[in-house]
Structure 1
Amino acid sequence: MSAPKRIFITGATSGVGYEIAKQLIHTSHELWLTGRNEAILNEWQQQGAHIIPADLTDDHQRKHLIQNVPEVDVAILNAGVGTFSYAHEIKDEDMDTMIALNVTAPMKLTKKLLPIVKEQFIFIGSQAGKVATPKASVYAATKFALIGYTNALRLEQPNKVITVIHPGPIDSPFLDHADATNTYRQKMGSVLLSAEEVAKKTIQTIGTKKRECNIPWYMGISSKLYALAPSIVETIGKPFFNKK
């Protein structure tokens, strides 16, 4: 990633998106940032970024966003949300929110961005999209959907690089919303990734032809084993899977 690029980032006011912006803000790259926290966006603007506040689940705000984003080299679609709850207990509104922000929004946004993104799309997925776990049925479904979408997109857009980042659990504000019990962070302990680490790995894929990036790397192996022998992985991984 030697030459300066114009980079568009969604979800730039929290979690991984915030850390990506933080690590890029004082580089030679030109940043176009969106998110729902206007106070943080204004801080980015004071540091030289271009900002467009938007709720990506709102059709009118998404339309306004598209009308104001210029041609960019790279689009990093990071915005997402999760709620940990059993399938028979999860609230309908939480299901709707996850599907709207994790699935519908990036698909509709990508449709409009395709003509103006010159080089690369980077989607923030999840290991949950490869190996589902209890209390994450709907969240996992949204990330499985993203994998299917990007696999097809890659075939449809051979002149653009489609990269998907698949991190494991991250210690970020995402957990504050997802985990109503407030115990997951403690149970997972040192296994949790930092948002800074995921942001760094994501930035390293800019300008490459990388198809996907598994963080940590060994989770890429476990997901391949799961595809081959799901029952065995579910049995061995049960103590880990039930930490939510």
Structure 2
Amino acid sequence: MKNKDLEGKTVVITGASGGLGEYIAYKCAENKARLFLLARNEDRLNRVANRIREEHGIDCTVMALDVSDLRKIPSIFERIYEEVEAIDVLINNAGYGIFAEAEDLKLTDLERMFSINVLGLISCTKAVIPSMRKRQFGHIINIASQAGKLATPKSSAYAATKHAVLGFTNSLRMEMVRFGVYVTAVNPGPIRTEFFRYTDPEGAYLENLGRVVLEPEKVAEKIVQVIFTKKREINLPWWMNWTSILHTLMPNTVERLGRKAFFKK
């Protein structure tokens, strides 16, 4: 998989210490991008960065950042701008979720989901907007979810955060098109990553889904392929996206027919 336009470009990835973010980093490195990897766990970031340096000889910088700490985000991006003239691509990948019915949802979990999934994403985006507008160049990619299109039981709060991400992304796209900056939303279904170790500790959800679970490397390939293109959205898998479209057209029917499947979490 090649995206020649990435060579020599600066890419910032949040949540890059594992899961989808880690694979996006590897795919960008294959295309010779200059990488800044952000996440809470610096040891795990260094593991990813060392592999990239050894396999691709790519310049790769790690910076510890919890995107829920909104006060630290501006200083992190200031440090990046001290090292490079511009950020060409921002991939907002950091995410957090908990499966629980609304009655059982802890407010601390709710607060953390919105802090990471929404406020952290918006804050990171705001840090790159002025430069991208001035240069009239750049690409912002926000990792949302199919849950942002079709909410299901036990994911009310998580779905709410992803609805917010899609709303922000769609508005941002219209604002930034005037300056030649691309904005893409990525809406994957369940991906086989450590995300579900925290979201669903019992492991029943991925087990119930079986072979329909997405592999992170394949999703990362799709994302890297569309960098510096006008792609509005990436929706995976296709059939899950069609379910959300049908739900918009026939909500009662989809909820009735899909009730058993929706409760598999």
Deviation at 1:74, TM superposition (A): 1.0
Residues 45/188 of structure 1: CA separation in 2 closer, same or farther (3 Å cut) = closer
Q: Which structure has the highest helix share of the two?
A: 2
1:219 to 233, 237, 240: 240
TM-score by length of 1: 0.95
CA contact (8 A) 1:84 1:180 kept: no
Map 1:1-244 → 2, pairs under 5 A? 1-3=3-5, 4=7, 5-46=9-50, 47=53, 48-70=59-81, 71-117=86-132, 118-158=137-177, 159-244=180-265
Residues 44/182 of structure 1: CA separation in 2 closer, same or farther (3 Å cut) = closer
| Distance across 1 between alignment mates of 2:49 and 2:202 | 36
Deviation at 1:217, TM superposition (A): 1.9
- Provide the secondary structure at the position in 1 that maps to 2:4: coil
Residues 218/92 of structure 1: CA separation in 2 closer, same or farther (3 Å cut) = same
The code of the aligned residue for 1:67 comes to E
| Distance across 2 between alignment mates of 1:120 and 1:204 | 13
The 10-residue stretch of structure 1 (191-200 or 166-175) with the greater mean CA deviation from structure 2: 191-200
Equivalent pairs counted in the alignment come to 244
Structure 1 runs of 4+ aligned residues shifted over 6 Å read: none
| Distance across 2 between alignment mates of 1:66 and 1:8 | 9
* Structure 1 runs not aligned, ≥5 long: none
* Structure 2 runs not aligned, ≥5 long: 54-58
Show CA shifts across 1:66-123 (max 9, x none): 1112311111110000000000001111101101000111112211211234311011
| Distance across 1 between alignment mates of 2:28 and 2:217 | 12
The code of the aligned residue for 1:51 comes to V
| Distance across 2 between alignment mates of 1:49 and 1:163 | 24
| Distance across 2 between alignment mates of 1:191 and 1:155 | 33
The code of the aligned residue for 2:69 comes to D
Provide the identity percentage: 39
**Aligned Cα RMSD in Å?**
1.4
TM-score by length of 2: 0.88
- Provide the secondary structure at the position in 2 that maps to 1:240: helix
